[in-house]
Amino acid sequence: EEDGHEEDGHEEDEEPDDLESLFSEQIYPLLELKCFECHGEKKQKGGLRLDLAKPAMADREFPTIIPGDASGSELILRIELPDDDEDRMPPTGDHLSLEEVSLFRKWIDGGAVWPSEEAVILEEVEESSVGTSKPAAQTPGQLPRFSPISIEDPEVIKSVESAARALTNSGVRVAPISQSDSAYEAVFRLLRKNAGDAQVQMLKGLEPVLTRLDVAGTAVSRISVAGLWKFRKLRILNLSETVTTDDDLATLASLPELTVLNLFGTQVSDAGLDILAQMRSLKRVYLWRTKVSPEGAKRLANSRPDLLVDIGEALSEEEPITQD
């Protein structure tokens, strides 16, 4: 009997072997306990919903869950932030233990398997956008497919790798977006106000490959924004909670592939909307807590049926969208 008891005890502590069991027994209960209050059926802070597979893995500005790539997933970045960081998930209460974070990493790196019983296919989650509904052919916010970036020049490769190493050593998250593409992303916001113009200058060398840049909440000045014209491959840019103003939009309008622009918490106003309207490559713009009026946002949305204009309107009548 003693032998049987020991085996039972061992089995109780054993981590599930297969990824479906890992999700059902460990990951989903943790999501329910730690995440659903802010990102569940009734409330979706930041427009993020984590109780269903489709919205949880949707194509977002910085993807929340990238199957097979835990380190590149926004969810992992958020749950590993220190307690005093305002972007930490969950924003209040106990953070996930090292063991729990390890489970999430194992699940995502294993392909983020989400068994069908939890992955209930509902109608598309309504996006937080303004303007009237549009025909399917004019659905706002649809992102184009870009050709992979390929670099073969040894000198260019050397410059890219050198810049990436220097940035990584300074605390910036910088890495290729996928194994099959030379496109890079650089995320400065983990440094908060410790990141400024000097750190952004270290991007020199990444001009041919930088497609995603996040300087949200940093101390970058308008000098850094003015220098972004050199990064002709930029497609996703997060300038939220920086000193960006209407006068900076002309520089951004020169970027031929810019498709997603986050201006949350900046000084952009209705005066800059004409420039945004003329940015034909732009498909999503986030204007929460800016000086843009609801009327101005509606005019912009109506003038560009293909552009998702998000000013933080409620997904439901009860709860406004806010950031973590």
Walk me through the domains of the chain, giving residue ranges and CATH numbers: 2-109 (no CATH), 136-310 (3.80.10)
CA distances from 323 to 72, 135, 140, 289, 302 (A): 20, 30, 22, 11, 26
pTM, full prediction: 0.65
CA atoms in the 13 A half-sphere facing the CB of 76? 23
Mean pLDDT of 279-296: 93
Based on the number of CB atoms within 10 Å of its own CB, is 126 exposed (0-12), middle (13-18) or buried (19 or more)?
A: exposed
End-to-end CA gap in the chain: 51
Distance CA 2, CA 8 (A): 10
pLDDT band at 213 (very low <50, low <70, confident <90, very high): very high
Strand order in the sheet with 284-286: 173-178, 181-187, 210-214, 236-238, 260-262, 284-286, 308-310
DSSP state of 149: P
**Range with top average pLDDT, 77-86, 90-99, 121-130, 289-298:** 289-298
The SS3 assignment for 46 reads helix
CB contact at 8 A, 222 and 215: no
CB contact at 8 A, 56 and 66: no
Main-chain phi, psi angles of 269, to 5 degrees: -130, -175
CA atoms in the 13 A half-sphere facing the CB of 243? 11
Q: Count the neighbouring beta carbons within 10 Å of the beta carbon of residue 10.
A: 9
Tell me what pLDDT residue 266 has: 95
pLDDT digits (tens, 9 = 90+) for 264-287: 999 999 999 999 999 999 999 999
Tell me what pLDDT residue 171 has: 92
pLDDT at 172 over 80: yes
Return the higher-pLDDT residue of 292 and 66: 292
Mean pLDDT rounded to a whole number for the chain: 82
pLDDT at 2 over 60: no
